[in-house]
Amino acid sequence: MTMTTADKIQANLNKRYAAERRFRSYGLVSVAIGLAALLFLFLSIIGKGYTAFQQTYVKLDVQFDAAIIDPQRTRDPQTLARADYGKLIKKTMRERFPDVKNRRDKRKLYKLISPGAVYMIQDMVRNDPRLIGTTQTVWVPADDDVDMLIKGYINRDEPESARRLKDKEIAWIDSLAATSSLEKRFNKTFFTAGDSREPELAGIWGAVVGSFYTLVVTLVLSFPIGVATAVYLEEFAPTNRWTDLIEVNINNLAAVPSIVFGLLGLSVFLNFMALPRSAPLVGGLVLSLMTLPTVIIASRASLQSVPPSIREGALGMGASQMQMVAHHVLPLAMPGMLTGTIIGMARALGESAPLLMIGMVAFIVNVPEGPLDPSTVLPVQIYLWADTPERAFVERTSAATLVLLAFLVVMNGAAVWLRKRFEQRW
């Protein structure tokens, strides 16, 4: 019996369909693995980080004792600023737990309250000196150990010697909790403060502002330079050995490890040009060097995608080369250029290695007030916190990562939106 052509095709067809089904399943498996990894990442970060958005506060009935704050009753701001507000808190705590007599125990008792409470009380008095002599109910941040216990990160079943909080301290905390003097509140400090050695006082605002200044410098430098370079290379430069060389080098630069740009920044901007260390200005300069190739490559791709018919149309009308570019090509290429730039900026926002080299890894408490102030950036802040031993910094590390991811998602979303909104079709 002979096989007809149709039979042969049929036999072959089954094989082809099987291959197609196999190929599809490979694809599905790959997508599933990718999604699972992403899901795991997000669940892990959110699971660890979300508790950092709350912080335990302690209710204290603080007696603003005039004898301690302002014995002479001058209400002199100097005196008010120098007064020992710690004494007020200590006194309040002693009154709250009258059974504690021993000096060492007292010290432990005072430690349940964050050192930041002192500044809170001080601020209250500075803002309203009439408080002196009265007794006020004040919610002050609890120490990070208390916070950890309340959030369930300290295991009460562990032997006392292995625990950060001893039985006595736990008993005090429980007693505070029983009288509803402990409360988890929204952690405003985390979003408004700079870095701190005390987890309950540490915030990301300093890093956010540092990142902002750094990115502004990066954007201001890399966008115009990148676009001008791309336009020149794409529209005006003749094709010859020099432009080929430049093109190859731009592509190479895009692949240079970012820490190398950090070393370059260290030797050129800090050592040679003597610019300030740890400053967002230098960070921005270094990151622009890193972002420029990305912006140039994206901009060139975007220029290349403008159809030649538009250029011919403009030139055929008697437009000069410059008019053709400015009136027709650039407007059409702009969405692509902006998208490329935003993606480059998102990369710069997530970059830490080159910034370590120029000193943006320092411990800086103050929120920077300009691009010349020492500061750090979000990813470096995450790196710094990840390095600290306190348990409370673990959740803050994850929370800061969440904030960074949120910024990145917003930036990439903006890129997608821009592309969709302004994309031209022919």
Partner 1 sequence: MLNQKQAVLLESPAQTNDVPPPAPAKIQEPDTKTVGRVTVDKPIMTTRNVDVYYGEKQAIIDVSIDIAYNEVLSMIGPSGCGKSTFLRCLNRMNDTIESARVTGKIELEGHDIYDKKTDVVTLRARVGMVFQKPNPFPKSVYENVAYGPRIHGLARKQAELDEIVQTSLQRAGLWEEVKDRLSEPGTGLSGGQQQRLCIARSIAVNPDIILMDEPCSALDPIATARIEELIDELRQNYSIVIVTHSMQQAARVSQRTAYFHLGDLIEVGETSTIFTNPQEKLTEDYLTGRFG
Q: Going by DSSP bridges, is the β-strand pair 54-63/182-186 parallel, antiparallel, or unpaired?
A: antiparallel
Which amino acid is it at 231?
V
Nearer CB in complex with partner 1: 159/308:
308
Locate 150 and state its tokens.
């309340």
Burial category of 384 from C-beta neighbours within 10 Å (exposed 0-12, middle 13-18, buried 19 and up) = buried
In whole angstroms, the minimum distance from the beta carbon of 338 to partner 1 comes to 17
Locate 61 and state its tokens.
């009935």
In whole angstroms, the minimum distance from the beta carbon of 325 to partner 1 comes to 13
Nearer CB in complex with partner 1: 286/333:
333
What's the gap between Cα 12 and its chain centre? 56
H or E element in which residue 141 lies: strand 135-141
Nearest to 192 by CA among 183, 182, 204, 180: 204
In the chain, the N- to C-terminal Cα span, in Å, equals: 56
In whole angstroms, the minimum distance from the beta carbon of 307 to partner 1 comes to 8
Nearer CB in complex with partner 1: 123/312:
312
Nearer CB in complex with partner 1: 61/312:
312
Q: Which residues of 329-344 are buried (b: 16+ CB within 10 A; e: fewer)?
A: bbebbbbbbbbbbbbb
In whole angstroms, the minimum distance from the beta carbon of 197 to partner 1 comes to 58
Please check whether residue 302 is in contact with residue 223, taking contact to mean a CB–CB distance below 8 angstroms.
no
Nearer CB in complex with partner 1: 215/324:
324
In whole angstroms, the minimum distance from the beta carbon of 327 to partner 1 comes to 7
In whole angstroms, the minimum distance from the beta carbon of 239 to partner 1 comes to 6
Q: Which residues of 355-376 are buried (b: 16+ CB within 10 A; e: fewer)?
A: bebbbbbeebeebbeebebbbb
In whole angstroms, the minimum distance from the beta carbon of 414 to partner 1 comes to 23
Task: Identify the three-state secondary structure at position 195.
Answer: coil
In whole angstroms, the minimum distance from the beta carbon of 298 to partner 1 comes to 21
In whole angstroms, the minimum distance from the beta carbon of 323 to partner 1 comes to 6
H or E element in which residue 35 lies: helix 5-49
Nearer CB in complex with partner 1: 70/235:
235
CB atoms within 10 A of CB 158: 10
Locate 388 and state its tokens.
């600290």
CB atoms within 10 A of CB 25: 10
In whole angstroms, the minimum distance from the beta carbon of 312 to partner 1 comes to 6
Nearer CB in complex with partner 1: 175/323:
323
Nearer CB in complex with partner 1: 319/356:
319
Nearer CB in complex with partner 1: 154/314:
314
Please check whether residue 137 is in contact with residue 131, taking contact to mean a CB–CB distance below 8 angstroms.
no
CB atoms within 10 A of CB 253: 17
Nearer CB in complex with partner 1: 388/424:
424
Query: Which residues, other chains included, contact 106 with Cβ-Cβ below 8 Å and sequence gap of 6+?
Result: 90, 94, 100
Nearest to 182 by CA among 125, 155, 143, 154: 143
Nearer CB in complex with partner 1: 250/324:
324
In whole angstroms, the minimum distance from the beta carbon of 318 to partner 1 comes to 4
DSSP H helices, 232-329, are 241-254, 258-265, 280-304, 308-316, 321-323
Contacting residues toward partner 1, per CB under 8 A:
238-239, 307, 309-320, 323, 327-328, 332, 424, 426
Radius of gyration over every alpha carbon of the chain, rounded to an integer in angstroms:
31
